[in-house]
């Protein structure tokens, strides 16, 4: 199978998602190494050799879903820039703060945004910005095609 399509995406998407998975695996392994009792058995590593493709496929699917979900996509798009206040996101979405924060945490867990707790803002990561750009450009292309198609009928 050709990797032409994937290689045409901004490299920040793959690098950012891979870095997030690497960090998640490292954190889970560190937590697993913690012993609660003297003779606890150590669980196996969270990511074993040969499991990378399955984990990556699941993670990429979740990231694409979050970025293309109408509400998640709007929040991600709003986070592109210098940092968007959470209150601005609640006003833009019409949702209560807790609902917006839950969506932000989903994007955060996927490595698409970062949250500044002190400033109470959200900003897209490199992967989040690149994925937002891909979604936006694809929507523009589909819109252009649809417009041209409707005019030719």
Q: Give residue limits of the domains in the chain.
A: 10-152
Position 1 scores a pLDDT of 44
**pLDDT, tens digit, 9 for 90 and up, residues 31-47:** 877 767 777 787 888 88
Q: Which CATH architecture has domain 10-152?
A: Orthogonal Bundle (1.10)
Q: In a 3-state reduction of DSSP, which class is residue 124?
A: strand
Q: For 18-27, write each residue's pLDDT tens digit.
A: 999 999 999 9
Identify which of 4-13, 36-45, 82-91 has the greatest average pLDDT. 82-91
Check whether 50 has a pLDDT greater than 60: yes
- Cβ neighbours of 33 (radius 10 Å): 9
Output the pTM of the full model. Answer: 0.84
Q: Which residues pair with 84 in a beta bridge?
A: 122
């Amino acid at each position: 199978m050709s990797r032409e399509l994937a290689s045409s995406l901004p490299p920040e998407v793959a690098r950012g998602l891979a870095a997030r998975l690497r960090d998640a695996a490292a954190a889970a392994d560190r937590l697993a190494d913690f012993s609660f009792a003297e003779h606890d058995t150590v669980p196996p590593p969270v990511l074993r050799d040969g499991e990378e493709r399955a984990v990556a496929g699941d993670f990429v699917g979740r990231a694409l879903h979050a970025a293309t979900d109408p509400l998640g996509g709007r929040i991600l798009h709003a986070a592109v820039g210098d940092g968007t206040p959470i209150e601005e996101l609640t006003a833009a979405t019409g949702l209560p703060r807790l609902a917006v924060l839950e969506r932000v945490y989903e994007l955060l867990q996927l490595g698409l945004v970062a949250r500044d707790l002190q400033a109470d803002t959200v900003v897209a990561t490199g992967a989040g910005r690149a994925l937002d750009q891909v979604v936006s450009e694809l929507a523009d292309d589909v819109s252009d095609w649809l417009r041209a198609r409707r005019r030719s009928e």
